[in-house]
Structure 1
């Protein structure tokens, strides 16, 4: 049995504790962030996604805020933000095997938003 529901607004994992009314707003926040900040999408494994981001300090601040809030309601996400060098920023997203479908949807949204820029 699936551990998430696909809706017209996107995916909603059963493990998510974000109130239903707030979910479309959070999804829109992710879409804006992806559109503004994502420069590359690399799928390193089924359970590991790496987003290459604009290296600006404001992007790092926005990424930290968004991932902190997402971690508080969807604790299965493991986010790691790093600076491989001063001009670049990466966001690694990992999930357990049971949540690969959610990571698939996140990767697809990130790639689509980047491509629409």
Structure 2
């Protein structure tokens, strides 16, 4: 797993980063229906509704260590997760999408 896209602003201990990457990988492999890169700073994801608790937990923990992320979760029959980052963090969004 390549977590080199994690920026210096990330406060998650380096040893824990592969586990966080694996959590996102598992979420996307199991529940991702669609993704759309709206612009360099915005990524829209559509996920299975049964992933809500996982998405809420994972995005809350990610916001704690990488406060530059904005996660907006909406929907009930389909979950829509909008992820935005500031212009200086577009490489992080690239890494997350990859």
Query: Whose radius of gyration is greater, 1 or 2?
Result: 1
User: Aligned partners of 2:6, 2:96: CA distance in 1, in Å?
Assistant: 11
Q: Which residue of 1 aligns with 2:83?
A: 93
Q: Which residue of 1 aligns with 2:26?
A: 32
- The gaps in structure 2 that reach 5 residues or longer are none
User: Aligned partners of 1:50, 1:89: CA distance in 2, in Å?
Assistant: 10
Question: Which of 62, 65, 68 is the matching residue for 1:70?
Answer: 62
TM-score where L is the length of structure 2: 0.94
User: Aligned partners of 2:54, 2:33: CA distance in 1, in Å?
Assistant: 15
Q: Deviating runs (4+, > 2 A) in structure 1? A: none
- The gaps in structure 1 that reach 5 residues or longer are 1-7, 109-117
Q: Which residue of 2 aligns with 1:50?
A: 44
Question: Which of 1, 14, 20 is the matching residue for 1:20?
Answer: 14
Taking only aligned residues, the RMSD between alpha carbons, in angstroms, comes to: 1.0
Task: State the shift of 1:88 in Å.
Answer: 0.8
Name the count of aligned residue pairs: 97
